[in-house]
């Protein structure tokens, strides 16, 4: 029986899914997607009424270039399930995925080296479609810079990582500089402008309030991205909104 997965194994197995610095001309590329693709209330709107749920991801990937996987926050997927996600999407599609709450909410970033290796192991089946890993910290967790530095030192090198700080004390120059030094991104909740952030990676999550329709034009302006296409879907299960779709 094979032994436990180690972080060094993840580094060696990275292959096409590893992150290499983007050329300067592509430093403002933007991908837009949603926090998942399985929402029953989308049937008959975004998804054709007769389309089976097994084909939803393929339909979704024909409109958007990325999706967040939120289910990984609650439980580990099987490697077979991850492989099916990879096969259902086009070559240039990319998944952002949320790391287990065991790391962020239960262990609160302490003593998590075995857990990091364990949650990454099945996700390697995405291959080149393995995008950034989102570590969402609990809202009650205030800034602890030494703990953050110890945690960042455990992350597999050559991959993309993003931290979501939900307590305002984290937005300090020393924290942002630490992220930049490790090439780790920060997630911003809400519309632009984002808090000052260093480094090349940034994730922007648009929530129902403030309305994303008002935020999108400012995002386009800030990134110099060009909107293409459009899709109607229910973001919050309450109302339908029309968003512009950005493609990398």
Q: Over range 148-168, report the average pLDDT.
A: 93
Q: How many domains does the chain have?
A: 1
Comparing 168 with 202, which gets the higher pLDDT?
A: 168
Residue 61 located in a structural domain: yes
Q: Of 117, 57, 109, which Cα lies nearest the Cα of 85?
A: 57
* Per-residue pLDDT, 188: 75
Check: CB of residue 98 under 8 Å from CB of residue 136.
yes
Residue 234 located in a structural domain: yes
Residue 25 located in a structural domain: no
Bridge partners, residue 62, by sequence: none
Return the SS3 of 169: helix
| Mean pLDDT of the residues in the chain | 76
Return the SS3 of 25: helix
User: Tens digit of pLDDT for each residue in 122-133?
Assistant: 999 999 999 999
User: Tens digit of pLDDT for each residue in 206-221?
Assistant: 765 544 444 444 444 4
Q: What is the CATH number of the domain that holds 179?
A: 3.20.20.410
* Per-residue pLDDT, 186: 87
Residue 75 located in a structural domain: yes
Domain that holds residue 123: 7-15+31-245
């Amino acid at each position: 029986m094979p032994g436990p997965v180690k972080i060094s194994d993840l580094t060696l197995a990275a292959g096409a899914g590893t992150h290499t610095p983007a050329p300067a001309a592509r430093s403002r590329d933007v991908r837009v997607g949603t926090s998942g693709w399985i929402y029953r209330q989308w049937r008959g709107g975004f998804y054709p009424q007769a389309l089976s749920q097994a084909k939803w991801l393929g339909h979704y990937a024909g409109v958007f270039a990325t999706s967040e996987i939120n289910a990984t926050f609650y439980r580990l997927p099987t490697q077979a399930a991850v492989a099916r996600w990879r096969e259902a999407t086009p070559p240039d599609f990319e998944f952002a995925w949320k790391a287990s709450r065991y790391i962020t909410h239960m262990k609160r970033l302490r003593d998590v080296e075995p857990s990091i290796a364990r949650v990454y192991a099945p996700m390697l089946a995405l291959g080149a479609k393995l995008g950034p890993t989102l570590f969402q910290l609990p809202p009650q967790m205030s800034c602890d810079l030494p703990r953050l530095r110890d945690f960042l030192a455990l992350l597999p090198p050559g991959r993309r990582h993003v931290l979501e700080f939900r307590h305002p004390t984290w937005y300090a120059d020393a924290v942002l500089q630490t992220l930049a030094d490790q090439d780790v991104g920060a997630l911003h909740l809400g519309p632009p402008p984002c808090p000052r952030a260093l480094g090349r990676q940034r994730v922007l999550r648009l929530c129902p309030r403030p309305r994303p329709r008002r935020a999108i034009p400012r995002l386009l302006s800030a990134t110099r991205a060009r909107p293409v296409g459009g899709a109607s879907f229910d973001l919050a299960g309450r109302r339908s909104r029309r968003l512009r779709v950005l493609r990398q």
